[in-house]
Amino acid sequence: MADVQAWNALAKLHDLNAFEVETLMTCAPTRIAHQHQLDDAARSVREARAEGDHERLSKVLCVLLRAELCPRLICGTLSVATLSLGLEREERVTPDMAVAVRLARVLACKLERVYTFARLFQE
């Protein structure tokens, strides 16, 4: 998604601001191929949220958003952590935590897309 138009479309679709898009663009893509990696990511999301560490939370979410996720993995734990954050009302959290809320919403969409699509081929 190095294409500027694609990034702009993502921003428009998910109501991301320029800072959030730039943060996503500069995050190095990775691959999550093992269950323990996904579980560690879910734990990081939960811990950073509980600690109110919006910076670490945003970084973890960016990594997950840029990651290639193996569709064979079980994403339930990460989905719960992501959805509980994404359902927060932006106006009820600090502006910095609102960034994490918006990123969590994008990640929830990605998880739905990746894992729903993967299930189509398992049936």
Give the pLDDT means over successive 10-residue stretches in the chain (123 positions): 78 90 91 96 96 95 95 91 92 92 94 76 55
The pLDDT value recorded for residue 120 is 54
CA distance 53 to 91: 18
The pLDDT value recorded for residue 1 is 45
The pLDDT value recorded for residue 6 is 86
The domain of 35 spans 4-120
For the beta carbon of residue 80, count every other beta carbon within 10 angstroms. Answer: 13
The pLDDT value recorded for residue 121 is 56
The amino acid that residue 89 corresponds to is R
| Structural domains in the chain (count) | 1
